[in-house]
């Protein structure tokens, strides 16, 4: 991934969780940098799609979650009071949001960096466009394996 200049993007979207990196490594099997680029982009797009589907499920079950998700376009976390005032409860388990204490306040946050990325950019395809914008261009090495 370093040769394809993808490490920074992957770190931003998957965070430092080794299990997420292992799943990505399992998905990336081709040796060339250009192939790695394509594999990583496909993997990240699949993860983005999964987050969008999970959010869609939450909105289907409780339409008010759409308003909650919109708050994450401008905020990394929101007070749990937002959920209380809207009479909302998170699913159990919830694969999109979690409740944590941050600096002495109970906050609602995305569960991981890729979910935060999706919520920051929106659920209507903007996240994939934002991914395209931050992905480095593929590195092609012509004739490296020709003999």
pLDDT digits (tens, 9 = 90+) for 18-75: 677 677 766 676 555 557 778 888 889 999 999 999 999 999 999 999 999 999 999 9
Two tokens, residue 135: 């992905």
Task: Please indicate, yes or no, whether the overall pTM of this predicted structure exceeds 0.85.
Answer: no
Top pLDDT among 103 and 111 is at 111
In angstroms, the Cα distances linking 107 to 3, 41, 77, 79 are 38, 31, 6, 4
Q: Find residue 106's DSSP bridge partners.
A: 101
Question: End-to-end CA distance of the chain, in Å?
Answer: 25
């Amino acid at each position: 991934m370093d040769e394809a200049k993808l490490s920074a993007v992957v770190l931003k979207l998957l965070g430092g969780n080794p299990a997420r990196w292992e799943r990505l490594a399992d998905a990336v099997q081709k040796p060339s940098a250009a192939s790695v680029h394509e594999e990583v982009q496909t993997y990240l797009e699949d993860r983005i799609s999964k987050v969008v589907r999970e959010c869609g499920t939450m909105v289907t079950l409780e339409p008010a979650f759409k308003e909650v998700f919109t708050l994450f376009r401008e905020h990394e976390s929101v007070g749990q009071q937002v959920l209380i005032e809207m009479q909302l409860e998170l699913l159990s388990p919830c694969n999109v949001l979690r409740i944590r204490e941050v600096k002495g306040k109970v906050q609602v946050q995305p569960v991981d960096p890729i979910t935060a990325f999706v919520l920051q950019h929106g659920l209507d395809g903007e996240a994939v466009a934002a991914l395209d914008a931050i992905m480095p261009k593929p590195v092609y090495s012509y004739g490296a394996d020709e003999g």
